[in-house]
Every structure is written in structure tokens, then in C-alpha cells.
């Protein structure tokens, strides 16, 4: 469980939620009134480009692409996007909970002797920065889904948040247990390897003495 990998997964999920919210709003905006939206686009285009100031081929191309986008949006099912947003939101909370659990476990072990390449201070700073970024992601999601999106997305955010909070607490306990067991297993492996080296050294020594 590498915190950097978990952080990247959480960040990717946040970006997917943001894109999903935008798509959901676009679909809702085009649903049931595509004719009015297309007419409004036509009117705006004519105002910007009267006969005496015709549009360039590139401008007309962009205009037609936007009209086609609106038509395609009208065919889309907002329910599918809604489900995808919920799934990505769950991924964010799941990986955030795992990251924080690992940070907490590392803080508990801060008194132990550390022999890695990075300094203890650098590792602590990385934990603080990543935790702050994860929390900021959560704030941005709440702002987007509760205050800048249709009400049903705000309700989805609340439901998923409450559900994942409980799951996150359970995951934290499980991760702490696993990391503790991993340390115990690592110590046992080291002792076994040290014992094998000692036995090998004695064996080599005996061969040399008997030669």
C-alpha cells in the first residue's frame, strides 16, 4: 500500500467526479428542450456573424460541433452519469481513508529507529502535505456537488460520504492490523535470513578448517 499510489488514485477519482458533474449538468440542461437550445445557439451565431461579417470556416466548424454536442447530450441518460459519479466518489473516499490510515500508523511508529533513504523530517512533511491535499480535494468536491450542481448530486454526495465514513473507519482498523502484522513478518524473515547466513558462515569455516 504505497501512499503515493493511493493519492494518485484519489486524485484521479476527484477529476472524474468533476468531469461527471459537468457532463451531468450539461445533459440536464439539454434534456427535453434541445430544440430551444439549438434555436438559441442559432440566434447567437447569427448575431455574432451577420451577413456583412460572415463566419470563418473554422468558426462555422466549431458552431456545428457545438450543435452536434447538444444533440448527443440530449440522447444521453443522466442516470448512467449519476451512477458513475457515485462510483468515482467512493473510490476517492476509499483511497483517502487508506492514505490517512497509513499516515496515522507511520506517526505511531515515529519513535522507532528508521533506516530508509529519506529523513524522518522529509517523510513527516510528505505526510502533512498529502493529507492537506486530500482534505482540500474533499472540500472542492463538497462545494461542487452540494452548491454548484443539481440537488440530486448534493444528496448523492451526502449519502456516499456517510456510507464511506463508516467503511473508512473499518478499513483503518484493518490497515493498522495488517501493517502491524507486516512488521512482525518482516522481523521474522530477517531473523531467518540472519540465521541462514550464520549457519552458512560456520559451514564455510568448518570446510576451511578441515581442508
Q: What pLDDT shows up at residue 204? A: 75
Q: Would you call 55 helix, strand, or coil by DSSP?
A: coil
Is residue 153 within 8 A of residue 145, CB to CB? The reply is yes
| pTM for the model | 0.54
118-143: per-residue pLDDT in tens? Answer: 566 776 777 778 778 888 888 888 88
152-192: per-residue pLDDT in tens? Answer: 888 888 888 787 777 666 666 666 677 677 767 777 877 88
The confidence band for 111, taking pLDDT boundaries of 50, 70 and 90, is low
Q: What pLDDT shows up at residue 187? A: 76
50-98: per-residue pLDDT in tens? Answer: 888 888 888 888 888 877 877 776 676 778 888 888 888 888 888 888 8
Cα 170 from chain centre? 19
Q: Concatenated DSSP letters for 81-149?
A: HHHHHHHHHHHHHHHHHHHHHHHHHHHHTTTS---SSS-HHHHHHHHHHHHHHHHHHHHHHHIIIIISS
Amino acid at each position: 500500500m504505497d501512499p503515493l499510489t493511493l493519492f494518485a488514485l484519489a486524485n484521479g477519482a476527484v477529476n472524474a467526479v468533476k468531469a461527471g458533474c459537468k457532463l451531468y449538468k450539461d445533459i440536464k440542461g439539454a434534456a427535453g428542450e434541445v430544440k430551444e437550445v439549438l434555436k438559441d445557439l442559432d440566434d447567437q451565431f447569427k448575431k455574432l456573424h451577420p451577413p456583412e461579417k460572415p463566419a470563418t470556416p473554422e468558426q462555422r466548424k466549431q458552431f456545428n460541433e457545438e450543435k452536434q454536442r447538444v444533440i448527443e447530450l440530449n440522447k444521453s441518460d443522466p442516470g448512467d452519469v449519476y451512477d458513475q459519479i457515485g462510483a468515482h466518489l467512493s473510490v476517492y473516499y476509499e483511497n483517502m481513508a487508506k492514505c490517512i490510515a497509513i499516515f496515522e500508523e507511520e506517526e505511531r511508529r515515529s519513535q522507532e529507529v528508521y533506516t530508509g533513504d529519506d529523513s524522518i523530517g522529509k517523510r513527516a512533511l510528505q505526510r502533512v502535505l498529502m493529507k492537506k491535499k486530500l482534505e482540500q480535494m474533499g472540500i472542492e468536491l463538497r462545494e461542487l456537488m452540494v452548491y454548484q450542481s443539481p440537488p440530486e448530486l448534493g444528496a448523492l454526495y451526502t449519502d456516499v460520504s456517510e456510507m464511506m465514513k463508516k467503511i473508512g473507519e473499518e478499513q483503518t482498523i484493518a490497515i493498522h492490523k495488517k501493517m502491524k502484522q507486516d512488521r512482525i513478518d518482516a522481523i521474522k524473515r530477517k531473523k531467518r535470513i540472519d540465521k541462514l547466513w550464520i549457519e552458512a558462515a560456520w559451514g564455510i569455516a568448518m570446510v576451511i578448517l578441515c581442508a
